[in-house]
Amino acid sequence: MTTQTYDVLGIGNAIVDVIARAEDDFLVRHGMRKGTMTLIDEARAHAIYDAMGPAVEISGGSAANTVVGLASLGARAAFCGKVKRDLLGEVFTHDIRAAGVTYTTPPAADGPATARCYIFVTPDGERTMHTYLGAAQHLRPSDIDAELVAAAGIVYLEGYLWDPEDAKAAFRKAADVAHAAGRRVALTLSDSFCVDRWREEFLDLVRSRTVDLLFANESELKALYQTADFDSAVAALRTDAALAVVTMSERGSLIITRERTQTVPAFPVARVVDTTGAGDLFAAGFLYGLARGSDLEAAARLGALAAAEVIQHLGARPETSLRALAEENGLEAGAVER
């Protein structure tokens, strides 16, 4: 049996966040709708980059944010996602490795450029995003390292990457390898629009036990079961899933098993600055708790703490050591010992 070397392996979109401050008139000049996220093509991506001012470039993407949060907690984390062999591909690779995450996915030699998300922050703190998915959407089964998957206690799949057929096949390969090695598989639904596109396939992943743990927020859960009634959606999920966690913003999270449903409160915050990455970091805390053998409530408390840290500043990555923060709050996070 393969030795467990990693606590969590995240598989998702490898995106570089390019963050710049901008005035409202810049958005108007370039036809951007303030406060929205727009998907763009490569030509538009190059045009925006040429027009924007000084920027900070940092590796991003939902699952990548989660594994960086895991590393900050002291976990042994790895990531699988596709970039191209170009400048931003080098930025992504360097940045995620510098955060303490193992990243070995070979870059593409040709094809679309590395994915990037241009984030314009106006003086009022509003974020306007234009995203080019590029190479990230070209993850293939051949990119899945079976030894790496088998060496991870939990494999965490990003719902945003369920659109391309090759990526679906890559996810299924990873899940098969993980289960053959006695590991667990988790999926985050990512976005209610994503759920609308792939509802039946997501439900099949859960019902077939391809996925052992499901992460969702309230809107994603309602979209999954096509209902406006939260309680009925929870009841349906309890029937379908072995384990699920539903985040409910300031009302905390809901742990759902066949036996019971348990509410865990949110961690108090002084001021909410930017909710980007809250779900990603909640998943980091919860997965870390599972990886170190914590009970489900303790894992959700770690998730709440990690989410609380990230929503108190701009950006989707922690700005302080989550391990130190957890220890300060009596949650005993630290490197896992085997």
Rounded to whole angstroms, how far apart are CA atoms 266 and 253? 7
In this predicted structure, what is the pLDDT of residue 1? 67
pLDDT digits 0-9 by tens, 112-134: 999 999 989 888 877 888 999 99
**Model confidence over 273-328: pLDDT tens digits?**
877 789 999 999 999 999 999 999 999 999 999 999 998 887 788 999 999 999 99
What is the pLDDT of the chain when averaged over all its residues? 93
Per mean pLDDT, which of 30-39, 190-199, 210-219 is the most reliable?
210-219
| Closest of 54, 266, 283 to residue 155, by C-alpha | 283
Select from 187, 306, 298, 293 the least CA-distant residue to 244.
187
Count CB neighbours of 211 within 10 A: 25
Question: What is the average pLDDT across 15-44?
Answer: 92
- Can you give the pLDDT at residue 337? 41
Please, are residues 277 and 61 in contact by the beta-carbon 8 Å criterion?
A: no
Q: Which two tokens stand for residue 74?
A: 């002291």
Q: Domains in the chain and their CATH numbers?
A: 6-13+62-108+137-325 (3.40.1190.20)
Confidence tier at 333 by pLDDT (50, 70, 90): low
pLDDT cut 70: percent of the chain above it: 98
Average pLDDT estimate for 163-185:
97
Residue with tokens 């003086």: 123
Q: What's the confidence (pLDDT) of residue 272?
A: 85
Q: What is the pLDDT of residues 217-274, one digit of tens each?
A: 999 999 999 999 999 999 999 999 999 999 999 999 999 999 999 999 999 998 888 7
Alpha helices in the chain, H assignment, sequence order: 24-29, 42-51, 62-73, 87-98, 146-150, 165-180, 192-207, 218-225, 230-240, 278-291, 296-310, 322-328
Residue 338 predicted with pLDDT over 50: no
Q: Closest by alpha carbon to 80, among 99, 61, 98?
A: 61
